[in-house]
Structure 1
Amino acid sequence: MILPVVKLGTLALKTICKPIANRLKKEAGLHPKFRQLIVSIAQANHQFQTQMQRRIYGHATNVKIRPLNEEKAVQAAADLLGELFVFTVAGAAVIFEVQRSSRSEARKEELRIQELQAMKQRDEDLAREIEHLKQKIEDVEHLAKGRGLSGLLHFRNAHTTEDGKEKHS
């Protein structure tokens, strides 16, 4: 019952985070200090991507890369920020699910260990009982050998009195 609820909650969280990411994108361009920060991040990201593309395609990497204009940089950084937010939420949901599953498996394993210990304890108790019964059988056989056949019969009737009535101990 809990698993479908958790999965549904995760899906709802992912769905809710997209409008939040869009709101973050919109707000990112409005605050001056934050705008400068994301513009510098976007420019660094642009430089890195361009150099990687040049290396992949075998072009010269020592060429000066023109920076993005400010509006494109803000838009690129806002998109990056939105995607990073969605990725973070999705990653957190996956981590939560893995931890929940791990805890569930640990509980199951603990129950298996307890059941195994209980079975081992029962086996040990039965083994002790068997040894105790073997000892009693050996004692009876020893008495029977010592007294002969009449000793065995006398042993069986040892619980009755001489007048034939049973003794209650």
Structure 2
Amino acid sequence: MSGLALKFTSLLVRTIAKPIGNAIKAQAREHERFRNICIKFAQSMHSTEIKLRMSLLGETKIRVKPLNDNKAIEQGATFISEFFIFSVAGSLIMYEAYRSRKKASSERDALADDISVLQNEIEYIKSKLGEINIKLDDYQIPDGYKPKYIKIDNNNNNNNSTKTEEETKT
């Protein structure tokens, strides 16, 4: 799946998640068991919130008044639907991150394989040069080529012998 198709799919799933969240809210009003779950959840959230606020203000003796059932159903259903939308969006982000990490890893592995093949080819060429007795010292740099890191010494009988910067310093 291409990156653009993945982005559009992600947008589609997020768009579909919003009506599903609204359906969760509607189901909380209609079904008794789900309504009871929302009420318990909202009451515990309300109690925890009030206790945290009062403890931050320095109050120690706290009595929390429970929410009425309609408000508790609304808050519980809202939290559950928002949690659903958030989890869908979060899972899409995690999938995209996993996908990009996997792609980068496969590219690194392919590059390492290519480097290994090139190193093997260099060793093969060196061994073949050794077999036919070609001396690397006789190599002359082509005209018009000005290497950046290799120093050219023109003093040896007009033969271009090469020395690296480290060899010329010693």
* TM-score bracket, shorter-length normalisation: 0.7 to 0.9
Counting only pairs closer than 5 Å after superposition, residues 121-140 of structure 1 correspond to structure 2 as 121-134=120-133
Q: What residue ranges of structure 2 are gaps of 5+ in the alignment?
A: 136-170
* Distance in 2, Cα, partners of 1:20 & 1:126: 65
1:23-48 deviations in Å (ceiling 9; x for gaps)? 11110221112211221111001111
CA distance in 2, matches of 1:102, 1:111: 14
Question: Counterpart of 2:108?
Answer: 109
Q: Deviations over 1:31-76 (max 9, x none)?
A: 11221122111100111111122233x1414210001011110000
Would you say the 8 A contact 2:54–2:62 is kept in 1? Answer: no
Counterpart for residue 165 of structure 1: none
Structure-1 residue corresponding to 2:77: 78
Whole-angstrom distance in 2 between the partners of 1:7 and 1:25: 28
More strand by share: 2
Q: Are 1:97 and 2:89 an aligned pair?
A: no
**How many pairs were matched up?**
135
1:52 corresponds to which letter in structure 2? L
Q: Which residue of 1 aligns with 2:34?
A: 34
**Secondary structure in 2 aligned to 1:29?**
helix
Give the structure-2-normalised TM-score.
Answer: 0.74
Q: Which runs of 5+ in 1 are unaligned?
A: 138-169
Contact map agreement 2:28 2:35 (CA 8 A) in 1:
yes
In the alignment, the residues of structure 2 paired with residue 16 and residue 31 of structure 1 have an alpha-carbon distance, to the nearest angstrom, of 22
Runs of 4+ in structure 1 over 4 Å off? none
In 1, Cα distance between equivalents of 2:5 and 2:97: 15
CA distance in 1 between partners of 2:84 and 2:128 (Å): 66
Q: CA deviation at 1:132?
A: 1.2
Structure-2 separation of matches of 1:62 and 1:130:
90
Higher normalized helix content (fraction of residues) = 1
Counterparts of residues 43-62 of structure 1 (less than 5 Å) = 43-56=43-56, 58-62=57-61
Determine the C-alpha separation between the residues in 1 that align with 2:44 and 2:9: 36
The equivalent of 1:149 in structure 2 is none
* TM-align CA RMSD: 1.6
SS state at 2:65 partner: coil
Whose relative contact order is higher, 1 or 2, with alpha carbons under 8 Å and at least 6 apart? Answer: 1
